[in-house]
Amino acid sequence: MAEHSEAARAAIRPVKEQIEDDLISRPGVVGVDIGEKLTKGTATGKLSIVVYVEKKKPISQVAKSQAIPPEVDGIPTDVQELIIELQPASSRVEDIALQVDTGTYSPLEGGISIGPARSVHLDPPDVPTPGDYVFSGTLGAIVKDRSSSAVMALTNFHVACVDSGWHVGDVMVQPSRGDGGSSPTNDFGTLTRATLSEVVDGAVIRLNAGKTSDASVVDIGKVAGKAVAAVGMAVQKRGRTTAHTFGDVASTDFTLSINYGDGVGVHVLKHQIRITPDTSRNPKFSDHGDSGSVVMDSSRNVVGLLFAGANDGSATFANPIQAALDELNVDLVIDSLTFVTRPIICGPLLSRIVQCPPISRTILCPPVVSRIVQ
């Protein structure tokens, strides 16, 4: 891929942001980005406003009002295919072969399997077969509440909350029920806050009294701090499913439309980080169950909170980490101490932050779904 300066991207960004709401609302459109224009699958070396659709159609089959213009204010456009999906590879809980991260970690750290203790009843089209399901995702990193200094675990809204039936105080288990965990044996914390906004899909879980935690991510090491993602940056993550993988930041301008399913519906997120896998080291950067992982640079600075991915493994999407921390009112724990959560008399006010404007269509990467069979 040709290298393009930030100045070149900055020149396109205002035009892209001006038209993206209109573009993302059109039938079949799932993403809008700044990227290299392709002609018959070959890179041209020119930056363009890229419109991603689930399936390209001949221009003769597209209504004139819905067609993507060849250029906007002199900036070329491009239409490319991409399916961004909620990857609910469903399996029965007793199917041990599909359990991938069954370890119980002490101290708790980033990169490990977690999920709600509760099950969720789902019906088609959210799942192929109606029934009660449990969800698996990843504990991204250990954080501290800015007001109370309570120690918490960072993950995604759709990992910890799943649907509109969530409540503050919902019990979380490690490993997830889909990975063999159970309640109360594997309880590790309770859902404290969550946000689903225009930029962030996040949640924090307050650790139970007596639980130890460490400011590290499995296979990667101590969290050094945070940084702002930049195009071309080499990144890594450790997730519940694909473990330690490597990739590169391809964009920080991605806008996508995602269907969160039961009770939440379609949602649009902007200013997202698009990551492509380093295929010399791993075929894909993320897969089902990696949602909630933190994305880190080569110096172990956190740059994003992973939440979605393309169904073919060609791309992974992450929230900018500063936005996630600010909306959840927490900071990364970055020192080398191991924390023990102790009971307190006057705990912080448990708040529920949800901003879920229904917007457009599509899908998202994360929790693994396991069907409960009675």
Q: Answer whether residue 269 is part of any domain.
A: yes
Rounded CA-CA distance 150/125 in Å is 39
Same-domain pairing of 89 and 65: no
- Indicate the pLDDT class of residue 368, thresholds 50, 70 and 90: low
Same-domain pairing of 70 and 219: no
Same-domain pairing of 195 and 68: no
Same-domain pairing of 57 and 103: no
Same-domain pairing of 253 and 179: yes
Rounded CA-CA distance 265/274 in Å is 22
For 50-80, give the DSSP string.
EEEESS---GGGS-GGGSPPSEETTEEEEEE
Q: Which domain holds residue 156?
A: 85-374
Q: Answer whether residue 1 is part of any domain.
A: no
The identity of residue 331, as a single letter, is D
Q: Which of 34, 62, 82 is the last residue in one of the domains? A: 82
Number of domains in the chain: 2
Same-domain pairing of 139 and 238: yes
Query: pTM here?
Result: 0.89
Same-domain pairing of 75 and 124: no
Who's near 113: CB < 8 A, 6+ residues apart? 100, 101, 102, 103, 136, 137, 138, 139, 174, 175, 176, 178, 179, 181, 240, 289
Same-domain pairing of 141 and 222: yes
Q: Which of 62, 82, 102 is the last residue in one of the domains? A: 82
Which of 4-8, 33-37, 146-150, 154-158 has the least mean pLDDT? 4-8
Q: Which of 33, 63, 82 is the last residue in one of the domains? A: 82
Average pLDDT, the chain: 87
At residue 363, does pLDDT exceed 90?
Answer: no
Average pLDDT over residues 121-130: 83
pLDDT given for residue 45 in this prediction? 87
What CATH number has the domain bearing residue 373?
A: 2.40.10.120
Same-domain pairing of 157 and 191: yes
The residue with greater pLDDT, 257 or 45, is 257
At residue 91, does pLDDT exceed 80?
Answer: no
Q: pLDDT digit string (tens) for 172-223?
A: 999 999 998 999 999 999 999 999 999 999 999 999 999 999 999 999 999 9
Same-domain pairing of 58 and 201: no
Residue 246: Cβ within 10 Å count: 17
pLDDT given for residue 351 in this prediction? 41
What CATH number has the domain bearing residue 73?
A: 3.30.300
Same-domain pairing of 42 and 91: no
pLDDT given for residue 367 in this prediction? 58
Same-domain pairing of 75 and 93: no
Rounded CA-CA distance 147/282 in Å is 40
What is the phi-psi region of residue 226: left when phi exceeds 0, alpha when psi lies from -120 to 50, beta otherwise? beta
H or E element, residue 11? helix 6-24
